[in-house]
Structure 1
């Protein structure tokens, strides 16, 4: 699927794009690393970045936001537990919910939201992440 010319994608549009994004499993450069997880950029332009994320068994991301970029996760295979957080008093974060994401599931976060991803599949989990504007690492 071609990336349309845009400056910044609205979260709902990014979620639709992620849900419809076409790929071939055998063409994804899946690679599992020992730590912390594998992150491979597949596409990047001024409005969006598409990143392949590979979590090996037992791997978990840090608790993080996306520095103002909206992020949509689409599970390619495996299963991930997403825990959501809200900013509480001062610099404290409080967990506000969690849900499992299975192959084909899509989950979107506005740029100021905080979450953590935990792989719960012993065979590993592969995600496509869509960031708009492109995530600044």
Structure 2
């Protein structure tokens, strides 16, 4: 025997790290490996090993994976603009997919309303003029209302558990409602056409992890159909100023949302981070109010 694989280490599938430690007992065996198996390994793993160290230098092929900090750094640098048309949606989606969620990074943003533990919560991780990055916590059985995203992009990725995205076509809105929205969004209530279901997709950490929405694509709701807590990361760019809330019965109203600085920028202390429903970032009850 002139060589052998003496160790194989496989990490989390989302990170995709596979390390082979190969022991050679002769120079001839090493040279043979370099012109044969090594070339084939690098060729077959080229897509997965994008931005990773090459085999020659490290003996490993591992795709670059984001930490929460490095993902936020990327988003701050790359996500700008007045509406969703300004964004490179595929590129941002690709970078979000590179995030490998580690509980130590996001645990402090997980919170539930002690007065209503079945209510889902929104917990601001970062906010600036270009975007809000929010961790949403979904207790078993809860769901959002059907809503749009105004002029914003909305990226969603699952952090823990499993959720379903239920997508609808944006319905026609009556003229009186549109006129009222222009005058005073906070008081605008009206009617819309019948909602048309477009797609239902399960998002979980073991399969399809993310989705993207804007008003050109449609409107949606998010549901936790499981018996365990689910958490999702949402990037709204630019930050949501207002959103339309739809009912399946054909009514629509506007919820005006407020945002503020995130924890990392001194916008709140730890106690208030654990009570986002008291901060006025997003009023869950108002969002879920039925017209």
Measured against the shorter chain, the TM-score band is 0.7 to 0.9
* TM-score, scaled to structure 1: 0.87
More strand by share: 1
Match of 1:24 in 2: 102
**TM-score when scaled to structure 2?**
0.44
Give, in whole Å, the separation in 2 of the partners of 1:17 and 1:24.
Answer: 16
Name stretches of at least 5 consecutive residues in structure 2 with no aligned partner: 1-69, 82-86, 174-191, 242-256, 258-291
What SS does the corresponding residue of 2:77 show, helix, strand or coil? coil
Q: Does the Cα contact within 8 Å between 1:57 and 1:122 map onto a contact in 2?
A: yes
- Supply the distance in 2 between the matched residues of 1:13 and 1:73 (Cα, whole angstroms): 14
1:111 is displaced (CA, Å) by 3.9
Deviation of 1:89 after TM superposition, in Å, equals: 4.8
**Any conservation in 2 of the 1:5–1:47 contact (CA below 8 Å)?**
no
Is residue 170–residue 215 contact of structure 2 (8 Å, CA) maintained in 1? no
Q: Report the count of equivalent residues.
A: 137
User: Residues 22 and 129 (structure 1 numbering): CA distance in 2 closer, same or farther, change over 3 Å?
Assistant: same
CA separation of 1:130 and 1:89: change in aligned 2, threshold 3 A: closer
* 2:220 paired residue number: 115
Note if contact 2:166-2:199 (Cα within 8 Å) is conserved in structure 1. Answer: yes
Specify which of 158, 183, 205 is matched with residue 103 of structure 1.
205
For the pair shown, which has the larger CA radius of gyration, 1 or 2?
2
- What is the aligned-residue RMSD (CA, Å)? 1.9
Structure with greater helix percent: 2
User: Per the alignment, in what secondary structure is the counterpart of residue 27 of structure 1?
Assistant: helix
Report SS of the residue matched to 2:147.
Answer: coil
By how many angstroms is 1:96 displaced?
A: 1.0
Once the 2 structures are TM-superposed, how far is the Cα of residue 19 of structure 1 from its aligned partner?
1.5
